[in-house]
Chains A and B, each alone.
Chain A
Amino acid sequence: MKHCADYEALLKICESRRSTRTFDSRPVPEEIIERIKKIAHTSPYASGRKKWDMIVVADREALAAMRMAVDRRTGEIQDKIRPDMKGSFDAYARNFSFFATAPAVIALVFRAAPSLSLMLPEPDGGILQWERDNYVKSISCVAMLVLLAAESLGLAGCYVTGALIAENEIGRLIRIPQGWSIGALIPIGYKAGGNNDD
């Protein structure tokens, strides 16, 4: 009944996983990050094309710069929000920059590599969207494995896309390759006040 035991273990990890937004200051050992990446690399990918990668950011200054970029962009958007929607926006944007408080952030990056669109004689917006969607779907699978791997190792994380309102600036700060995009940021760490490291 080994398979049943595997299922129960996976179910336990899935059910215990929660989106965590507050972390204590303990650093996440590099070895643990590598173990998370090892699981993430088993992720399936669309069209048989593994056009994604992970960039780990643990440097406090880099994370602070990323946070400032998000806050700046949030401010720019806030100025344009309808007056009656400002409260809603403020509540929505509250979680855009907490990621920078985590000891480590895994940025999932991908490239929407053209293929079918290049086989057509004329540009087709629908095909271009489909191509990009394929890579977004792939990176979503990676994200789930990162979160489950972190949970299985006694850590916590959160799937962050709100911060990507400042994707261009963040991409510049973490030096993503030219023509690549950020699919998500996943802050990783030990839960604040928790006892999840034993």
Chain B
Amino acid sequence: MTIEAQLRNSLLPVFGFHSTEQIPEDASLVNDLGADSLDFVEIVYLIERDFGVVLKTNELMVAGASVDPDTLFVEGRLSEEGASMLNQQFPDSNGRFKAGMTKVGFFQSISVRDLANIIRQRTSEMRKPC
């Protein structure tokens, strides 16, 4: 099973859906699926439970990279450098992360596929030999 498929399955009860078909990979967790801020606490928990990947909620903002999220935002807005880094971190972003984006706007744009990419990245890092 792909990470995307497994993640969509894990998210079913969070959104009260019966089928993973109701959770398209390109769906925004906030705008399309209706996630609220506390849902992200549970989503982070589910990722740890089902994938063994420990994430902090604010690490989602840096796509799982080892960067302090606060360095990407200047006065609450995404910097040019931050936008560039995020677009690299999220391979399917199509340049959607733009300078000036707010943290709220960022969370609204995170898709199921983005989340799966973060998990994939973290999982491959965990497998690297020390």
B42 contacts chain A at the CB level, 8 A cutoff: yes
A111 contacts chain B at the CB level, 8 A cutoff: yes
| Chain B residues within 8 Å of A3, by CB | none
| Chain B residues within 8 Å of A48, by CB | 36, 38
A49 contacts chain B at the CB level, 8 A cutoff: yes
Given A48-B36, A178-B13, A179-B13, verify A115-B41 contact (CB < 8 Å): yes
A53 contacts chain B at the CB level, 8 A cutoff: yes
- State how many angstroms separate the Cβ of A107 from the closest Cβ of chain B: 13
| Chain A residues within 8 Å of B45, by CB | 114, 118
A22 to B84, CA, bound (A): 66
| Chain B residues within 8 Å of A177, by CB | 12-13, 16-18
Is B14 a contact partner of A113 (Cβ separation < 8 A)? yes
A118 to B17, CA, bound (A): 22
- State how many angstroms separate the Cβ of A53 from the closest Cβ of chain B: 6
A74 to B56, CA, bound (A): 47
* Residues of A in contact with B, size category: 10 to 19
Task: Among A53, A111, A113, A175, point to the contact of B38 (Cβ < 8 A).
Answer: A113
A42 contacts chain B at the CB level, 8 A cutoff: no
| Chain B residues within 8 Å of A115, by CB | 38, 41-42
| Chain B residues within 8 Å of A51, by CB | 16
B92 contacts chain A at the CB level, 8 A cutoff: no
A47 contacts chain B at the CB level, 8 A cutoff: yes
| Chain B residues within 8 Å of A111, by CB | 13, 16
* Residues of B in contact with A, size category: 10 to 19
**Interfacial residues of chain A within 155-195, with CB under 8 A of chain B in the complex:** 175, 177-180
B21 contacts chain A at the CB level, 8 A cutoff: no
Query: Per-residue CB proximity of A100-141 to B under 8 Å, as 1/0?
Result: 000000000001011100110000000000000000000000
**Interfacial residues of chain A within 70-112, with CB under 8 A of chain B in the complex:** 111
B70 contacts chain A at the CB level, 8 A cutoff: no
Name which residue of chain A comes closest to B15, CB basis. Answer: A177
- State how many angstroms separate the Cβ of A118 from the closest Cβ of chain B: 5
**Interfacial residues of chain A within 13-47, with CB under 8 A of chain B in the complex:** 47
B68 contacts chain A at the CB level, 8 A cutoff: no
Kindly list the 6 A-B residue pairs having the minimum CB-CB distance in the complex, ordered from nearest: A179-B13, A115-B38, A177-B16, A118-B45, A178-B13, A115-B41
Residues of B within 8 A of A (CB): 12-14, 16-18, 36, 38-39, 41-42, 45
20 additional A-B pairs beyond A119-B41, A177-B18, beta carbons within 8 Å, are A48-B36, A49-B38, A53-B16, A111-B13, A111-B16, A113-B14, A113-B38, A113-B39, A113-B42, A114-B42, A114-B45, A118-B42, A118-B45, A177-B13, A177-B16, A177-B17, A178-B12, A178-B13, A178-B18, A180-B13
Interface pairs (10), CB distance under 8 Å:
A49-B36, A111-B13, A113-B42, A114-B42, A114-B45, A115-B38, A115-B42, A118-B42, A177-B16, A180-B16
